[in-house]
DNA sequence: CATGTTTTTCATATATTCTTGAAGTTTCAG
DNA sequence: CTGAAACTTCAAGAATATATGAAAAACATG
């Protein structure tokens, strides 16, 4: 398989993959492109290689920077800005987990906690069903919360190795 | 807070939550509704409570059944079908992990494995960058794969308790 | 097996999300 | 300052995803 072909396929697949995870296809593709590029790229490089508009590149790179997955690099003496992605996959995963936790799990747990004081008879079938489900989610969420926190702070090998050892 | 209000808010939020995870908003809402309903519901119940069309309900329930999150219940002597969701959140999470692994992680690893035989000099900067990234993903993916497999087969408390104990 | 009931399908309509590109802004060397 | 280069914004258009509802199919009952 030729390198150019492999690159293209990787970018395409990574994009498709992203769409299943609530990530915009193009953003995932930009990320993929930066992940496999030896050197940092300019907006124009990305525009050209993915055949997308300047505005689109700009928007998606900004988003990737927000997610902490891409860095803006300023080369002294050059006008253009360069961009490069974090290449260490463990760090990438950690960063994504951290952000999603902050953006989604935390707000969800906050919401769930509001449901503690429901008016009405706790013995009522419907009330009970609601509270049971909500409490189940709360418990699960709290545990996931702790687990992810720990994961985010753990060292790559230590964490996975220990985990696998214990689990086996 | 009134029960009806809380239910409504839960359904709405669960739906919004779903959209961040590549899940269609309505499907997540139907799931939420079934999660908090004491009894199983018919298609008409869901239509009415979420104000959505019959076709939409039918489609989303089928999808939820595909995911193994909802069951079709036939009551002897009744013509209508009833639907109920798995209420144990651990099982729900396990099931989702299992399905997403099958649908997404496995194909991704399969794709990545194809990139092993790239033509060209392994010393070339671009080739090396590509292979490094791809191999990093492969290693990470393989570990995630093992971890998720184990999680799916583990007992709820055993797993989380052990994990938390080890991690601390 | 004829009939009314329930479920499923799917072409079309609607809604949402993404992309473009030109105009506006910032930046900096001269 | 000035002007060119680079970056950012955003309204309008394009593409994608989702929802509707009527028609068809499946089903159960007498």
Chain C bases having any atom below 7 Å from a protein CB: 5-11, 17-22, 28-29
Q: Which residue is nearest to nucleotide C28 (CA to C1')?
A: A79
**pLDDT digit string (tens) for A2-50?**
999 999 999 999 999 999 999 999 999 999 999 999 999 999 999 999 9
Q: Which of A104, A118, A134 sits opposite B17 (nearest CB)?
A: A104
**Pick from A82, A2, A78: nearest CA to A37:** A82
- Chain A residue nearest residue B14, CA to CA: A108
% chain B with pLDDT above 70: 92
B116: confidence class by pLDDT, cuts 50, 70, 90: confident
Torsion of CA A99, A100, A106, A108, to 10 degrees: 160
What does the pLDDT read at residue A25?
97
Question: Does the CB of A104 sit below 7 A from strand D?
Answer: no
Phi, psi of A51 (to 5 degrees): 50, 55
Q: Helix H segments across A72-124?
A: 89-100, 106-113
Each residue's pLDDT tens digit in chain A (168 positions)? 899 999 999 999 999 999 999 999 999 999 999 999 999 999 999 999 999 999 999 999 999 999 999 999 999 889 999 999 999 999 999 999 999 999 999 999 999 999 988 888 889 999 999 999 999 999 999 988 888 888 788 765 665 665 555 555
pLDDT of residue B167 exceeding 60 = no
Do residues A33 and A46 lie in contact, with contact meaning Cβ atoms separated by under 8 Å?
yes
CB contact under 8 A, A117 and B1: yes
**Pick from B59, B53, B54, B7: nearest CA to B34:** B7
What does the pLDDT read at residue B146?
87
Judged by C1' against the alpha carbon of B76, the nearest nucleotide is: D28
Question: Gap from A67 CA to D28 C1', in Å?
Answer: 56
Q: Which of residues 59-78 of B touch strand C (CB under 7 A)?
A: 59, 61-62
Separation CA A10–CA B68 (nearest Å): 30
Pair of tokens at residue B8: 């409504």
Across-strand partners of A74? A81
CB contact under 8 A, B147 and A128: no
Tell me the chain B residues in contact with residue A146 when contact means C-beta distances shorter than 8 Å. 164
What does the pLDDT read at residue B159?
59
- Chain B residue nearest residue A103, CA to CA: B20
- DSSP symbol at B104: I
Q: Which of B87, B108, B164 sits opposite A147 (nearest CB)?
A: B164
CB contact under 8 A, B10 and A103: no
Tell me the chain A residues in contact with residue B13 when contact means C-beta distances shorter than 8 Å. 108, 111
CB contact under 8 A, B130 and A87: no
**Residues ≥6 apart with Cβ < 8 Å to B41:** B33, B34, B49, B82, B83, B84
Q: Which residue is nearest to nucleotide D27 (CA to C1')?
A: B79
What's the pTM value of the predicted model, to 2 decimals? 0.91
Judged by C1' against the alpha carbon of B83, the nearest nucleotide is: C7
The alpha carbon of residue B128 and the mean position of all alpha carbons in its chain are separated, in whole angstroms, by 35
CB contact under 8 A, B166 and A164: no
Judged by C1' against the alpha carbon of A27, the nearest nucleotide is: C18
Question: Gap from B77 CA to D15 C1', in Å?
Answer: 48
Give the closest-approach CA distance of A129 to chain B in angstroms: 5
């Amino acid at each position: 398989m030729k390198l150019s072909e492999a690159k293209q396929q990787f970018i395409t697949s990574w994009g498709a993959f992203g769409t299943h995870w609530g990530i915009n296809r193009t953003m995932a593709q930009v990320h993929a492109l930066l992940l496999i590029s030896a050197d940092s790229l300019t907006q124009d490089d990305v525009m050209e290689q993915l055949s997308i508009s300047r505005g689109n590149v700009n928007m998606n790179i900004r988003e990737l920077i927000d997610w902490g997955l891409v860095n803006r690099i300023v080369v002294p003496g050059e006008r253009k800005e360069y961009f490069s992605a974090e290449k260490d996959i463990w760090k990438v995963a950690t960063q994504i987990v951290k952000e999603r936790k902050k953006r989604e799990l935390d707000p969800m747990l906050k919401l769930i906690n509001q449901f503690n004081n429901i008016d009405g008879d706790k013995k009522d079938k419907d009330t009970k069903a609601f509270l049971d489900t909500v409490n189940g989610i709360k418990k699960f969420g709290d545990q996931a919360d702790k687990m992810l926190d720990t994961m985010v702070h753990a060292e790559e090998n230590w964490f996975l190795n220990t985990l696998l050892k214990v689990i086996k």
